Structure 1
Amino acid sequence: MVKIEDLKRINIFKNVSEKLLEIIAKEAQLSIFGTDTQLITIHEKVDTFYMLLMGQVAVKKELTPEIDVIIDYIQAGACFGVYSIIEGSNAFYTAVCQEPCELITISGPRMIQLFEENHELAYYMMLEVSEQYKRYMDVRAGMILKTLGKHRDIEDDISDS
């Protein structure tokens, strides 16, 4: 069981009532992982939903055996492993602890059951995950446009609106 105060430190739970947090608190576990622990492996089934309380996790994809591209650094308050609530989903990235990390974890299949049992919980979780995804995509789109803007041959053709 996890403390409700810990769940309140997770961004996606900012608008969730204590009643709903109690449901998750009863099912979730507090886990501590060391530096370089691989939490999610590319092409493997994602079966755990993670909520980072402390530490930093790198989300990366290997380009070649010598080159990894860091897609994101997940900071305290964020969640990942959302694919765990989509049956049969495999990871398109690897997630590795960059330092000792304290995480709240819950199995994806159990999270799906909780959603089926409590539609209000499902609504708030999906709303927050959708907003998080939109923010992420807005940042990434801006980065791509900025990178493309550095190519003088296409600079005038790019619109950032």
Structure 2
Amino acid sequence: MTAIEDLKKIHVLQNMSESFLEQLIPHIETHNFNERDVIYEEGQKADRFFMLKRGKVLLEVEVSGLVIISLGSVKTGYLFGWSALIPDATYTTYAICSEPCEVLWISGREFLDILNRENNQAYIFMYNAFKILKGKLKRRTDQFLKVMSKHPDIQKLLGL
């Protein structure tokens, strides 16, 4: 069984009340994965929200049958599978372990139900999540602009 101390190590949950974390515990499952194990696939129904207790997970998309792009990685203490918090959504990437991992997960629906009962805690969670997602968006935007600036056609347009 997951302990409150495990949940307090998840960055987005660090400022949450113990009573909120106690409500999560009965709904959380712990699973171990090996290197290269696939946790979920792009296009799969997004029904679980994940917390990485140990290891590293790559988030990848298949551009074609021959090309796979890594969009980023998830480090210990961070969340992934955000799509599970949107009803009827699917995962938009593959989540693949780049090393042995210990993963906590909860049903996205169950997590949302608990947040709906705990408005104060929901606000704290959303604020913490916003800070994390803002950082991810900035990194992706910076990556995109860097790639675009190196594209030969863009360089011609810019006179480089």
Q: Same fold (TM over 0.5)?
A: yes
**Is 1:122 matched with 2:122?**
yes
Distance 1:121 1:25 in 2: 15
Distance 2:24 2:90 in 1: 24
Instruction: Give the secondary structure class of the aligned counterpart of 1:153.
Output: helix
Against the structure 1 CA distance between its residues 154 and 3, is the aligned structure 2 distance closer, same or farther, given a 3 Å change threshold? farther
The corresponding residue for 1:34 is: 34
* Alpha-carbon offset, residue 25 of structure 1: 2.3
| Counterpart mapping for 1:16-95 below 5 A | 16-95=16-95
For the 8 Å contact 2:7–2:13, the answer to whether it is kept is yes
Distance 1:156 1:124 in 2: 47
Unaligned runs of 5+ in 2: none
* Alpha-carbon offset, residue 155 of structure 1: 4.2
Instruction: Give the secondary structure class of the aligned counterpart of 1:42.
Output: coil
Against the structure 1 CA distance between its residues 117 and 145, is the aligned structure 2 distance closer, same or farther, given a 3 Å change threshold? same
| Number of aligned residue pairs | 157
* Alpha-carbon offset, residue 146 of structure 1: 2.2
Distance 2:69 2:88 in 1: 25
The corresponding residue for 2:156 is: 153
Instruction: Give the secondary structure class of the aligned counterpart of 1:146.
Output: helix
Q: Which amino acid aligns with 2:128?
A: E
Please identify, of 46-55 and 20-29, the stretch whose mean Cα deviation from structure 2 is larger. Answer: 20-29
Q: TM-score, normalised by structure 2?
A: 0.89
* Alpha-carbon offset, residue 118 of structure 1: 1.5
Instruction: Give the secondary structure class of the aligned counterpart of 2:156.
Output: coil
Instruction: Give the secondary structure class of the aligned counterpart of 1:35.
Output: coil
Distance 2:55 2:107 in 1: 21
Please identify, of 21-30 and 75-84, the stretch whose mean Cα deviation from structure 2 is larger. Answer: 21-30
The corresponding residue for 2:133 is: 133
For the 8 Å contact 2:7–2:14, the answer to whether it is kept is no
- Tell me the C-alpha RMSD between the 2 structures: 1.8
Distance 2:159 2:129 in 1: 35
Please identify, of 28-37 and 65-74, the stretch whose mean Cα deviation from structure 2 is larger. Answer: 28-37
Against the structure 1 CA distance between its residues 133 and 154, is the aligned structure 2 distance closer, same or farther, given a 3 Å change threshold? farther
